[in-house]
Amino acid sequence: MSLGSIFKRIFTWWNGQTVGTQLFTWRKGQKVGEDRQGNIFYRTADDSKRWVIYNGEVEASRIDPEWHGWLHRIWDAPPSERPLVHRPWEKEHEPNHTGTAMAYAPKGSIRRAAPADMKDYDAWQPE
In percent, how much of the chain has pLDDT > 70?
Answer: 82
pLDDT at 119 over 80: no
Q: What pLDDT sits at residue 30?
A: 95
Q: What pLDDT sits at residue 81?
A: 92
Model confidence at 115, pLDDT cuts 50, 70, 90, reads low
pTM of the predicted protein model? 0.68
- Residue 68 and residue 41: Cα distance in Å, rounded? 10
- pLDDT digits 0-9 by tens, 19-64: 778 888 899 999 999 998 899 999 999 999 999 998 888 888 888 8
Which residues are CB-neighbours of 92 under 8 A, at least 6 positions away?
A: none
